[in-house]
Structure 1
Amino acid sequence: MAGLTACDRGSHPGNIGKPAAQFVMTDGVETVDLAKLRGKIVVLNLWATWCAPCVQELPSLLALKQKMPGIAVVAVSTDQDDEVYRAFLVKHHVDIPTVRDSDAKINALYGTVQIPETYIIDRNGVLRRKFIGAQDWTGPEITDYLSKL
């Protein structure tokens, strides 16, 4: 899988191996509090409905949650239009916690400059890996990696 081998393009981000930046984000409907997920492996996906690679990888993120229910899959969208965002969630049966962060505060907090980007946070709240671009989240390379954390 090419995406897996290129996940840290160039060099490892400086925050790998350090505590993940904590946040509480609410969009009036959903709230995500990263601290409340301590004790679980977290797959933190930064995305948007208008991003074709984000939409492409969404089914595999949803399937990952079904395949590995002990993992917390969380998504933060940078969509501006709440109505479009909510309609997308319904149309695509998105059943993972997701919040709309129209100001991209979480992207800035994590240093994300392009989407999709996904961060793997271990049970102790330490940032372990960063994936850039769409991934097959149910592929053996990723599920093996996650199961070993």
Structure 2
Amino acid sequence: MGFIGCLGRQIGSHGTEREGIIKIGAESLKHKILGPLGLILAAGVVFSFFLPSYRHGEASLAGSKAKDFALQIPGASHLADLRGKVVVLNFWASWCPPCVEETQSLNRLQQAIAAKGGVVLGVSVDEDAAAYNKFLQDNHVIFPTYRDATKKSAVDYGTTMFPETYLIDREGRFARKIVGPQDWQSPEIMRSIDFVLNQK
């Protein structure tokens, strides 16, 4: 799966509404009637492509309990065993170029939040164990990961495109959902994570 195809799926998931807005903007420019309101709309469309958010039409999960699931990482056999930590739950796959793109940033995030009681938890949907293990070795992944070849945990969370990430607070509640690959050291992302880390 190429990068353009994977990215296209991600953007396309927002449906026809966004496509319609872009087409309207193009027609307005063509007829030279794009006024101040049109410029604001166009800027909003561009910004919305880069703002981490829910997929189009999804309801907010904030405050609801994160569904528990079995896993195999050092010190934990279930997600619930990480209660008391802030969990950055990242669903990914070795065949997904955007997942590769953000891996080193997730490594740095793990280093930044571990001492504060946070943990990056990667859940791979790889069916091929060899490809999964090679990815971990090639990318020097330092955060705990678990391979769920059945994809059940991802499906239970409503995740069908990757990467997709859930920020879970110390009480096991969703704080935020983040769609697509990110710069996990960006000020906007770090503010969100630090806010949850500082909650007692």
After TM superposition, give the deviation of residue 14 of structure 1 in Å: 5.0
CA distance in 2, matches of 1:124, 1:4: 29
Query: What secondary structure, in the 3-state scheme, does the structure 1 residue paired with 2:106 have?
Result: helix
Q: In 2 relative to 1, CA 98–54 (structure 1 residues): closer, same or farther, beyond 3 Å?
A: same
Counterpart of 1:92 in structure 2 is 139
Q: 2:61 touches 2:177 (CA, 8 Å); kept in 1?
A: no
**1:66 and 1:44 mapped to 2: Cα distance?**
15
- CA distance in 1: counterparts of 2:48 and 2:87, whole angstroms: 22
Q: How is 1:1-149 mapped onto 2 (pairs within 5 angstroms)?
A: 5-26=51-72, 32-69=77-114, 70-149=117-196
Q: C-alpha separation between the residues in 1 aligned to 2:49 and 2:104?
A: 16
After superposition, the Cα gap between the structure-2 partners of 1:25 and 1:3, relative to the gap in structure 1 and judged at 3 Å, is farther
Larger displacement relative to structure 2 (59-68 or 12-21): 12-21
**Deviation for aligned residue 1:98:** 0.4
Q: TM-score, normalised by structure 1?
A: 0.89
CA distance in 2, matches of 1:123, 1:15: 15
User: In 1, Cα distance between the equivalents of 2:50 and 2:194?
Assistant: 16
Letter in 2 for 1:92: N
> For residues 12 and 129 of structure 1, do their structure 2 counterparts lie closer, same or farther at Cα, with a shift above 3 Å needed?
farther
Unaligned residue ranges in structure 2 (runs of 5+): 1-46
Query: CA offsets, 1:28-86, max 9 Å, x none?
Result: x9965211111111000000000000110111111001122231100000111101111
Shift, 1:11, TM fit: 4.5
Matched residue type, 2:107: L
Kindly indicate whether the alpha-carbon contact (under 8 Å) linking 1:43 and 1:74 is maintained by their aligned counterparts in 2. yes
How many residues get paired?
Answer: 148
| Change over 3 Å in CA distance of 1:11–1:122 after alignment to 2 | farther
Q: Give TM-score, length-normalised by structure 2.
A: 0.68
Q: Which amino acid in the other structure matches residue 86 of structure 2?
A: I
Larger Rg: 2
For structure 1, the residue ranges without an aligned partner over 5 or more in a row are none
